[in-house]
Amino acid sequence: MSKPVVLIAEELSPATVDALGPDFDIHHVDGTDRSALFAELATAQAVLVRSATKMDAEAIKAAPLLKVIARAGVGLDNVDIKAATAAGVMVVNAPTSNIISAAELTVGHILSLARHIPAASGALADGQWKRSKYTGVELYEKTIGIIGLGRIGALITARLQAFGTNVIAYDPYITSARAQQLGVTPVTLDELLAQSDFVTIHMPKTPETTGMIGAAQLKLMKPTAFVVNVARGGLIDEEALHEALLAGTIAGAGLDVFVSEPPTGSPLLGLDNIITTPHLGASTDEAQEKAGVSVAKSVRLALSGELVPDAVNVAGGVIDPYVRPGIPLVEKLGQVFSGLAAHSPLTSVDIEVRGELVEYDVSVLKLAALKGIFTNVVSETVSYVNAPLLAEQRGVTVRLLTDAESPEYRNVITLRGALADGSQVSVSGTLTGTKQIEKIVEINGYDVEVPFAKNLIVMLYADRPGIVAVYGREFGEANINIAGMQIARHVAGGKALSVLTVDSEVPAGLLTAVRTAIDAEIMVEIDLTE
């Protein structure tokens, strides 16, 4: 019997090949040569890539036997996840392979800014001995502000505390107990910017976080302060940063990531108070080897039919076909849940499964719920293996509850959570009809029946005449098309919950205006990530 073909499309470490073991027929190809790649894909059951090989819809179509695409790294920009999922191909990556490397590079940027290391080295190379020009500052007793206290943020905290610094942090999803455990002081974003001598940002890139450090935020910083971004390009408004650096609003910046990469022609590159590196966060021998070994192990699991914790689109493993359609449903419910819960840190969450599903092993639905909850909350890629760890690190208690009784639907899954401010959030979903359409059927105790859409708006307000006309006019004048709408209430004249599906993202300023116009208690936009 022939061995499964595993195709390595880019140069990976010998340890990666060793981790695959002797059970596979390993082929090698230059993944940038499309014709050679397609020829090899014809017989491949797995393909391992880094960043140069494009596993797009065309490449996936050329691989009829393909079961798994493994990206030896964190980013997945070169893999068409939607096309892979449609073809039944698992996509895996190595979400934790670079966290130490990224943390250390961040510290390197901070030290380089504090002591002018790159500029001083360049001057000396030019024969200039300018000790007084490059007088720097100590990190000792300085205040470090960390925006985003996930795994990388926690690693940076530990390293900078060793310098005798005072670490403060802004993370809307972290509990005070977790902050205390890490030895940091939780503050608001404005407080962090005003107090910090060094600011480093470690947030995921979402519509809400893109440009979160703009002109207004930079003006809050000390003129002696520095800002560092080794996370995602675009979290800092580059035009605003350029103006702030020119005007001396802040002392300097360190960037490893950019809106457009490479940042050819960026005016930031010509400034003498900025340090730049070409996206080196994962560029260490150790991170590359960890990534290769990690995905090699995932390939082995995938091809042997076992659960693959680092799968980003399907869980794999021995999951009953009756349970499997619930996985993407629950991941979407998790994203809706986190959008509704964004106003306060989450302290506990229950995943309640009701109906015929409880006759099967539904433990994967707990992983899917946590994966969805943290997808747009943390900077690192969330998978089935690290999602429970992310919950544990944040002090979130998680339970999976099952009940065979489901009065209204054959099966219904509810995510119900308690928040630090004492409030509760819940969202329920089900699959309906022969086509198994995913629908939201409850939000915070209000019964609805809304198909999922990429852009959702949830509003809670006092039920009274004319409200629909008000927000309909506001969205219409802003050229935001409402594709669908449902209103739910318990009693006439009480509170009403509206769920809108819209065709495009809604600017934050418009949401604020609509909230004020209708005096809404809740007004959130939730943009689902596929």
**What residues have CB less than 8 Å from 471, skipping those under 6 apart?**
459, 498, 514, 517, 518
d(CA 370, CA 191): 30
Task: State the CB neighbour count (10 A cutoff) for residue 363.
Answer: 14
Answer whether 454's CB lies under 8 Å from 527's CB. Answer: yes
- DSSP secondary structure letters along 430-443: EEETTTTEEEEEEE
The yes-or-no answer on residue 515 being catalytic is no
E strand segments, 51-197: 68-71, 90-92, 143-147, 166-170, 185-186
In the set 232, 300, 354, 416, the catalytic residue is 232
In the set 58, 138, 141, 261, the catalytic residue is 261
Sheet holding 522-527, edge to edge: 482-489, 495-502, 455-462, 522-527
- For the chain, counts of helices (H) and of strands (E): 17, 22
Where do runs of H (alpha helix) occur along 126-188?
151-161, 176-182
The yes-or-no answer on residue 232 being catalytic is yes
Determine the Cα angle at 231 with ends 226 and 232, to 5°. Answer: 110
* C-alpha pair distances (Å), 302 with each of 65, 306, 317, 362: 13, 6, 7, 19
Grouping H, G, I as helix, E, B as strand and the rest as coil, residue 53 is: coil
| Residue 102 dihedral angles phi and psi, to the nearest 5° | -65, -40
Tokens at residue 278, please? 């070409």
The yes-or-no answer on residue 343 being catalytic is no
In the set 71, 279, 354, 416, the catalytic residue is 279
**Burial 98-132, CB ≥16 within 10 A → b, else e:** bbbbbbbbbbbbbbbbbbbebbbeeeeeeeeeeee
Task: State the CB neighbour count (10 A cutoff) for residue 390.
Answer: 21
Tokens at residue 76, please? 């997945």
Determine the Cα angle at 220 with ends 270 and 262, to 5°. Answer: 30
Tokens at residue 217, please? 């935020």
Residues assigned a catalytic role:
232, 261, 279
